[in-house]
């Protein structure tokens, strides 16, 4: 019984760090996320189809691999916005991308998906991977994605298949594993039309890349 309580506390701590990396441990988690999520984030960026000169965003960028990929895609004339709720990840990104922040190619925001400090119809593409599990109410979050997206823009959400995710021990704590159909319904309610449910496998988990746009 004691062993089970210790294990529960351990997995709860892991889930807490995955949802909002913080402190010294959070810096390590950020690097782990970059390695573990590399394939998924790379595929999400490709699905978003960012072009040179575009204005794009990574919402909940974690360790920052998505920022790196987006900066490369939009080039010297583009702008990348990175939004994160974890100040530790903001600090790490500010250090890692010091020159890009200084020249205005990367703009960092301490913000959640439901309160993005961006003008309406200002983004050509948005990616967000492994974030929806930690959002209690999808409606205002997805409404914000629709608000900031340009009419021709794309939103790509990277979401682990709920059946695969449920087999991970840490997802019993703090994770909200919703059916993909529920997520696509909430996207539609917000005015985002599903264009494609692209599947990729990353280790033991199949990921859904939900590619969405305005009607």
Is residue 51 scored above 60 in pLDDT?
yes
Instruction: Specify the pLDDT at position 15.
Output: 45
**What residue ranges do the domains of the chain occupy?**
3-213
Q: Cα 142 from chain centroid?
A: 13
DSSP 86: -
Look at 211 and 174; give whichever has higher pLDDT: 211
Q: In whole angstroms, what is the distance from residue 10 CA to residue 42 CA?
A: 30
CB 109 within 8 A of CB 58: no
Is residue 37 scored above 90 in pLDDT?
no
Q: Helical H runs in the chain?
A: 2-19, 23-36, 38-48, 65-74, 87-96, 98-102, 138-148, 162-166, 180-189
Is residue 151 scored above 90 in pLDDT?
yes
Q: Is the dihedral of CA 90, 95, 97, 103 positive or negative?
A: positive
Give residue-wise pLDDT tens across range 102-132: 999 999 999 999 999 999 999 999 999 999 9
DSSP 108: E
DSSP per-residue string spanning 43-66? HHHHHH---TT-EEEEES-TTSHH
Is residue 17 scored above 70 in pLDDT?
no
Instruction: Specify the pLDDT at position 11.
Output: 40
Q: In whole angstroms, what is the distance from residue 61 CA to residue 215 CA?
A: 26
CB 145 within 8 A of CB 113: yes
Give the closest residue to 34 by CA, choosing from 21, 46, 23. Answer: 21
10-19, 65-74, 138-147, 203-212: range with lowest mean pLDDT: 10-19
Instruction: Specify the pLDDT at position 145.
Output: 98
Give the closest residue to 134 by CA, choosing from 108, 168, 159. Answer: 159
3-213 folds as Rossmann fold (3.40.50)
Q: What is the mean pLDDT of the chain?
A: 88
Is residue 133 scored above 80 in pLDDT?
yes
- Tokens representing residue 154 in the block: 């794309």
Could you give the percent of the chain with pLDDT greater than 70?
A: 84
């Amino acid at each position: 019984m004691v062993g089970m309580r210790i294990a529960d506390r351990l997995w709860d701590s892991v889930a807490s760090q995955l949802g909002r990396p913080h402190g010294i441990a959070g810096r390590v988690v950020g690097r782990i996320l970059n390695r573990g999520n590399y394939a998924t984030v790379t595929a999400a960026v490709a699905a978003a189809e960012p072009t040179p000169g575009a204005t794009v965003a990574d919402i909940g960028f974690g360790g920052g691999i998505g920022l790196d990929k987006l900066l490369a895609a939009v080039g010297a004339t583009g702008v990348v916005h990175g939004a994160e709720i974890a100040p530790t990840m903001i600090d790490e990104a500010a250090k890692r991308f010091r020159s890009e922040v200084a020249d205005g190619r990367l703009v960092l925001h301490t913000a959640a998906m439901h309160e993005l400090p961006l003008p309406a119809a200002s983004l050509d593409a948005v990616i967000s991977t492994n974030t929806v599990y930690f959002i209690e109410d999808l409606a205002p979050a997805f409404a914000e994605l629709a608000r900031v997206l340009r009419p021709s823009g794309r939103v790509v959400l990277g979401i682990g298949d709920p059946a695969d995710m449920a087999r991970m021990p840490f997802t019993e704590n703090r994770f909200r594993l919703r059916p993909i159909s529920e997520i696509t319904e909430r996207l539609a309610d917000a005015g985002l039309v599903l264009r494609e449910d692209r599947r990729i496998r990353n280790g033991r988990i199949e990921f859904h890349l939900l590619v969405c746009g305005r009607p």
